[in-house]
Amino acid sequence: MTGKGVARAAALAAAVMLALQGWAAAEDLQWRHGILEAKSDAGIYMMVNQGFAQKQGVQLDLIQFKSDAIALRALIAGAIDSYDGTFAGTVSARAHGIDVRLLGCDWPGLPHGIFVRDSIAGPQDLKGKTFAISTPNSLPDVLARALLAKYDIPAASVRFANLGGDLDRYKALVAGVADASVVSGEYEPIAAANGVKLLIAGRDVLPLYMRVCIFTTGAALKAHPDAAVRFMAAEMQGLSYAVTHRDATLALTRKLTGATPDDPRPAYIYDDAVRTHGIDPELSLPMDKINWMAAELVKEGILKQPYDMKKMIDPSVREAALKRLGKT
């Protein structure tokens, strides 16, 4: 090979290496995050993809799931890198040796409530009735059973039915297929017109219960450590913007869900979340709530023995994200 040929070959090899490095870098900065299917709080969740992920240099895919139990299975299978979920399934998985990790809590408030048909006057009237829930150990299941325990109503005296997501359960309630259900508080402003009412707010049953936190796996953090930090930083920026820009967030919600301007639900759930500080833009790790949640899992029989939550908390990603944003 001539000198010129060697030079061309070297240049080609260098170009290929740069291309491969660029491809690898792009792969490392991809992050797939699971959320519950879009409803009246969609704008708050989706705001992260309105330029904030791009600003942080991460290619973010938001994937919707009917329930967090399904999202947990996708996380364990490696189909997603993280998801917004509740504690029951994740802590149980960790206690059984699966490397699930808690990164931070974006919605530590509980906007859900127990809704019933107008014929139900109080909790005691639930005996012998059908209670619409979701998958076992999901928020609707846990909150429904907590309500019964609070009023000394045997769980065996109620017929539980897994009827899907919030909208599916609410429709079942309106149609008379179910007598009670746990759904988002967003339905309160339209409940009366449908012969339905809020029996009790979820936070009055479980005041320390956190709606969702962000969970990932050790494998995802090992494969995409930088993307994880950039995702958390983008999430912080997106939530901060959402809770301070009401009109923009409501407009995004209506766009994503097809809600009409006169639909009161997006504004109701947004105002409720802001008023009760239900959203935490800094994705904190409130140990009092975290330890209480873990203790409840033992109380409910989901865990056979107490679990040390510090073993599954990884604060380093959140700390790196805060540092990236110039915060401490």
pLDDT bucket at 294, cuts 50 / 70 / 90 = very high
For the chain, give the percent of residues with pLDDT over 70.
91
- What is the greatest pairwise CA distance in the chain? 93
Three-state secondary-structure class, residue 162: strand
pTM, rounded to two decimals: 0.83
**How high is the pLDDT of residue 21?**
40
**How high is the pLDDT of residue 14?**
42
Contact 210, 129 (CB under 8 A): no
In sequence order, the 6+-apart residues with CB closer than 8 A to the CB of 260 are 254
Rounded Cα–Cα distance for residues 132 and 30 (Å): 37
Q: What is the DSSP letter of 38?
A: P
pLDDT bucket at 296, cuts 50 / 70 / 90 = confident
In sequence order, the 6+-apart residues with CB closer than 8 A to the CB of 227 are 28, 29, 30, 31, 58, 81
Asked if the 9-109+210-324 domain carries CATH number 3.40.190.10, the reply is yes
Residues of the chain with CATH 3.40.190.10: 9-109+210-324, 112-205
Rounded Cα–Cα distance for residues 182 and 139 (Å): 8
Taking 50 as the threshold, does the pLDDT of residue 18 lie above it? no
Contact 43, 270 (CB under 8 A): yes
Residues 100-119, mean pLDDT to the nearest whole number:
95
**How high is the pLDDT of residue 6?**
41
DSSP codes, 53-121 = HHHTT-EEEEEEES-HHHHHHHHHHTS-SEEEE-HHHHHHHHHTT--EEEEEEEE-S--EEEEEETT--
For residues 89 and 21, the model is more confident at 89
Architecture of domain 112-205 in this structure:
3-Layer(aba) Sandwich (3.40)
Contact 248, 37 (CB under 8 A): no
